[in-house]
Amino acid sequence: MKSKYITFSKNIFIPVTNVCRNACDYCGFRARSFEDAYIIGMKEFLALVKSKGTATEALFTAGEKPALANLSSYFKKNMLNSGYSSLLEYTKELCKLAIKHELLPHCNLGVLSEDELKELREVNASMGLMLETTAAELEAHEESPGKIPKERMKTIAEAGKLEIPFTTGLLIGIGEEKEDCIRSLGAIKSLHDKYGHIQEVIIQPFIPKPFTPMWNKKPPSFAELKEVVRAAREILPEAVAIQVPPNLTSPLELIELGASDLGGISEKTIDYINPESPWPKEEDLRKMVAPFELRERLPIYPGFVKKGWYSEEIRPLIEKYADEEGFRRRKSK
């Protein structure tokens, strides 16, 4: 059964820091030197959220466990100079400020513990972590301790125990086999069957980045993406949406195979993970998915809005933005 709507959200993309303990062969986001490293400043952050336009989501992303990275001295020094002790403490403060500026936070900070997830839950509408693959010992992940599949599965499971609406997904074309994709989707299904917290699974193609070890590797073909989307729709429960990024692929044929969400787009910020791929505008999205109907959602999916899986901290914003179905309230004409 196809979804009634093709959904998307509007966000402000906030890269908190690009200092990361992982060194994935395909990543162009991670800082490689002190000259490249940054932590978003409070003034820059406030300028972004104050100019949010029609966005409802503050999408926070960051390098994983920067205090353990090879550039940890840069990170620790700048954190202390800012008056904060950790990425968690700083990001939580940014989330609180985002809420004050009427944005619903969604954090993706890499592998987190139960206590860290619990700390962020009260100031997040949803959270996320790309599983990427359950294939172990990929060459692309040799220098990435945070990409051990069991560790990522553990974080996703802990989020389920805490009833956090959660986004995860697969990264296609990083050295995995077809069978690995099936196993990865099965692993996600098992977690959702147990906790009921997976709101969407992203099927994202690897895109080669300059100055990375995988710069010369070919991205997956569209036929390969179609195979994975088809398998995802067969394996995952109907309540779990399949997301395909519209700035990285052509979505219509994937929608025909069961995809029903296009993720977040931004009017004000770029995709810092894939900066070479600009976001389409809302009117372009409508053309891309025609004849399907496009519908805007919040970073928390309608089903979880109805369940009340959110904290008192963000309740006023949920009530302001959500209609009776749990989608974003339509503007009155």
pLDDT, residue 332, reads: 54
Helix 42-50 × helix 87-100 angle, to 10°: 30
Entry pTM: 0.96
Q: Which residues contact 38 (CB under 8 A, 6 or more apart)?
A: 17, 18, 31
Domain positions in the chain are 6-321
Q: What is the pLDDT of residues 222-275, one digit of tens each?
A: 999 999 999 999 999 999 999 999 999 999 999 999 999 999 999 889 898 998
Of 96, 17, 12, 106, the C-alpha closest to 51 is 12
Token couple for 94: 């940014």
pLDDT, residue 3, reads: 57
Alpha helices in 83-219 (DSSP H): 87-100, 114-121, 149-161, 178-195
pLDDT band at 333 (very low <50, low <70, confident <90, very high): very low
15: amino acid identity, one letter? P
Average pLDDT of the residues in 64-75: 96
Q: What is the pLDDT of residues 169-219, one digit of tens each?
A: 999 999 999 999 999 999 999 999 999 999 999 999 999 999 999 999 999
Can you tell me the distance from the alpha carbon of 313 to that of 306, in angstroms, rounded to the nearest whole number? Answer: 17
Percent of the chain with pLDDT over 70: 98
Specify the fold of 6-321: TIM Barrel (3.20.20)
What is the average pLDDT value for the chain, to the nearest integer?
Answer: 95
Q: What is the pLDDT of residues 83-139, one digit of tens each?
A: 999 999 999 999 999 999 999 999 999 999 999 999 999 999 999 999 999 999 899
